[in-house]
């Protein structure tokens, strides 16, 4: 079950965090993985780990906010593999701030990466899926469903991701293309460690425990747990699922009251 044998999978932001876990799991399950990431060093490490484990993976340096760059890379992948079966729109940037404290530059940066970047990948990949179908998984967030303190611009972009997911699922259902998104709560990624180190020097452990306890389940998720849900939704076992947003949040949305 949940095999992806010989399926070409594009994973954006696969060089670290959740994307890294998805890339490694997909390769383990037989996919031909293409990682699109701006971080060459991090991506190279993931590729080495996948190859050492007997998987197949290739890195493509890419700024997903650059439409022409995305289109050319996707065309190169199609030339190499003749098809694309899976697209994971995982790459994104986070931001802490309110409507007052979010600068115009930060607002535009989140729009370029989280919204336009997702759109660029959808526009480049969908034409290559229309003949034989495929699966698209977009990365949203619980911040698209509930109010999170000082996540103004981030919440805005993740709400847009949910909207794009529903529209894509509706527009391409007749082509055999499924499109879903997932909404994680806090996940233990390099961003979390960096945020704590920057804002709470010397108190990282204390604040990590506080963040963990803010989840009803009592802990922060690991990237590998998120990757397992992504694998299911992209597998043939989930062939009846499309147009859905799945919280993976330790009970945050429904139980945190």
In the chain, where the domains are located: 8-185+223-255
Task: Give the separation between CA 223 and CA 213, rounded to whole angstroms.
Answer: 18
Mean pLDDT (10-residue bins), the chain, 257 residues: 97 97 98 97 97 98 98 98 97 95 98 98 98 98 94 97 98 98 94 86 92 92 98 98 97 86
- Give CA angle at 39 (37, 42), nearest 5°: 105
Q: Tell me, which fold does domain 8-185+223-255 have in CATH?
A: Rossmann fold (3.40.50)
Task: Give the separation between CA 151 and CA 159, rounded to whole angstroms.
Answer: 12
Closest CA to 60 of 15, 126, 110: 15
In the prediction, which pLDDT does 25 show?
98
CB 84 within 8 A of CB 58: no
- pLDDT tens for residues 119-136? 999 999 999 999 999 999
CB 2 within 8 A of CB 232: yes
Q: Reply yes or no on whether 232 is catalytic.
A: no
- 3-class secondary structure, 96: coil
In the prediction, which pLDDT does 199 show?
83
In the prediction, which pLDDT does 257 show?
61
List 119, 154, 200, 232, catalytic entry: 154
Task: Give the separation between CA 22 and CA 18, rounded to whole angstroms.
Answer: 6
For residue 163, what are its two tokens?
Answer: 């909207």
In the prediction, which pLDDT does 37 show?
97
In the prediction, which pLDDT does 198 show?
85
In the prediction, which pLDDT does 190 show?
84
Burial class (CB in 10 A: 0-12, 13-18, 19+), 1: exposed
């Amino acid at each position: 079950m949940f095999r992806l044998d010989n399926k070409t999978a594009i994973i954006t932001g696969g060089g670290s965090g959740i994307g890294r876990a998805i890339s490694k799991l997909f390769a383990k399950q037989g996919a031909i993985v293409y990682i699109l990431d701006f971080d060459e060093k991090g991506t190279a490490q993931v590729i080495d780990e996948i190859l050492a484990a007997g998987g197949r993976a290739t890195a493509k340096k890419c700024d997903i906010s650059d439409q022409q760059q995305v289109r050319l890379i996707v065309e190169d992948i199609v030339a190499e593999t003749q098809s694309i079966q899976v697209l994971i729109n995982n790459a994104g940037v986070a931001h802490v701030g309110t409507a007052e404290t979010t600068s115009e530059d930060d607002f535009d940066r989140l729009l370029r990466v989280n919204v336009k970047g997702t759109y660029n990948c959808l526009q480049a990949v969908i034409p290559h899926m229309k003949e034989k179908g495929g699966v698209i998984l977009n990365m949203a967030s619980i911040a698209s469903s509930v109010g999170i303190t000082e996540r103004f611009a981030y919440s805005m972009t993740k709400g847009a991701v949910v909207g794009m997911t529903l529209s894509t699922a509706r527009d391409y259902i007749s082509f055999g293309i499924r499109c879903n998104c997932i909404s994680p709560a806090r996940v233990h990624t390099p961003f979390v460690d960096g945020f704590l180190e920057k804002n709470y020097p010397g108190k990282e452990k204390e604040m990590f425990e506080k963040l963990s306890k803010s989840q009803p389940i009592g802990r922060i998720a690991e990237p590998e747990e998120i990757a397992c849900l992504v694998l299911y939704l992209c597998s043939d076992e989930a062939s009846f699922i499309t147009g859905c947003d799945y919280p993976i949040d330790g009970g945050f949305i429904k139980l945190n009251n």
